[in-house]
Amino acid sequence: MLLEVINLSKHFGGLAAVNNLSFSIKEGEIVGFIGPNGAGKTTTLNMIAGFYNPTSGTIKFEGRDITKFNAHKVCNLGIARTFQIVRVFPEVNVFEHVMIGAIAREGIRAGKESLKQRVTEVLELVALTKMKDALAKNLTAAYKKRLELASALATKPKLLLLDELAAGLNPTEIDETLTLLKEINKMGIALLVVEHVMKFVMGLSERIIVIHHGEKIAEGSPSAVATNKKVIESYLGEGYSVA
C-alpha cells in the first residue's frame, strides 16, 4: 500500500476538524476526496504533507510511519501537493520556479544540467515551455495553477495531493486539466484529489472518499458515491446526477 491513514484526528482547541479518519491509497491510484466546505479535507492533506501534526492517529507511506515528519522530509520521500489558494513566487520566472521544486527534491549537488533537464521535461509535460521566461505574477490564474502543479511534479512525487485544482477554471481549462492529470497518472503517480467541481472529480477518480464534519461517511466508485443517501443529503443534493 502506498499511503495508509489510520484513525487520524486533528483538533484545534475544542474543535475536531478531522475525527478518526481512515483510508488508504494504492500505487498509481486516483482517489477523489470530497465533502462540504469545512469537512476537513484540506486539514487532512496538511497532515499527510507534514504541515500539521495530527492530534492522534498514524500516517504511513510505503509502510513507513511518517506521522511526525516535517513537510521537507515528506517531500523527499515522494509526496507533493498543490494548494487551494495558489502559492507562487511572484517575481520568479516560470523556469526558475520549477527549478526550486527540482532542487527541493534533488539538492543542489544533483548537478546543474541534470536539474535543467528535469525542469525542461516538466515544463513540456504541463505545456508551459513557451512561458518559461514569464514572471509568475504575470500568469493567468489557470496558468498559475499549472505552474504550481509543475513545481510539485519537479519534486518527483509518487503521490500528488491536489487541492481544488479545477476551482475557477472554465470548461475548456477543466477538460485540459483532466487530460493532463490522466497523463501524469499514466507515469505511475498516484493522485489524491480534493475537489468541488463534481464533473472533474467524478470523471477523474477511480474511487471516491466522502467526509463530513471530519468523519468518513462513504467510500466507493463514483457511481456508488453519487447514489449514496448520506452523500446526497449532506453534500450533493437531490438534483445531482452522475451523468
Q: Mean pLDDT in the chain? A: 92
In a domain, 141, yes or no: yes
Check whether residue 148 and residue 185 sit in a common domain: no
- Cα–Cα dist 3/21, whole Å: 13
Check whether residue 133 and residue 166 sit in a common domain: no
Q: Which residues contact 240 (CB under 8 A, 6 or more apart)?
A: 198, 226, 232
In a domain, 65, yes or no: yes
Sheet holding 56-61, edge to edge: 15-25, 3-12, 56-61, 64-65
Q: Which domain holds residue 57?
A: 1-69+158-243
What are the pLDDT digits (tens) for 109-167? Answer: 667 788 899 999 999 999 999 999 999 999 998 999 999 999 999 999 999 999 999 98
Check whether residue 54 and residue 174 sit in a common domain: yes
What are the pLDDT digits (tens) for 198-232? Answer: 889 999 999 999 999 999 999 999 999 999 999 99
Check whether residue 152 and residue 162 sit in a common domain: no
Check whether residue 186 and residue 152 sit in a common domain: no
pLDDT at 241 over 60: no
- Cα–Cα dist 202/30, whole Å: 11
Check whether residue 173 and residue 240 sit in a common domain: yes
Check whether residue 130 and residue 164 sit in a common domain: no
The domain boundary, picked from 130, 156, 182, lies at 156
**CATH code of 208's domain:** 3.40.50.300
What are the pLDDT digits (tens) for 176-206? Answer: 999 999 999 999 999 999 998 888 999 999 9
For residue 146 the three cell numbers come to 499549472
Check whether residue 225 and residue 120 sit in a common domain: no
In a domain, 74, yes or no: no
Confidence (pLDDT) at 238? 56
Sheet holding 207-212, edge to edge: 79-81, 159-163, 190-194, 30-34, 207-212, 215-220
In a domain, 149, yes or no: yes
What are the pLDDT digits (tens) for 61-114? Answer: 999 999 999 999 999 999 999 998 888 888 999 999 999 988 887 766 667 788
Q: Which residues contact 97 (CB under 8 A, 6 or more apart)?
A: 88, 89, 136, 147, 150, 151
pLDDT at 239 over 90: no
Burial state string for 109-141 with b = 16 or more CB within 10 A and e = fewer than 16 = eeeeeebeebbeebbebbebeebeebbbeebee
Check whether residue 175 and residue 128 sit in a common domain: no
The domain boundary, picked from 132, 156, 180, lies at 156
Considering its fold, how many domains does the chain have in total?
2
The domain boundary, picked from 156, 180, 207, lies at 156
Check whether residue 122 and residue 90 sit in a common domain: yes
Check whether residue 54 and residue 105 sit in a common domain: no
Check whether residue 121 and residue 4 sit in a common domain: no
End-to-end alpha-carbon separation of the chain, Å?
A: 31
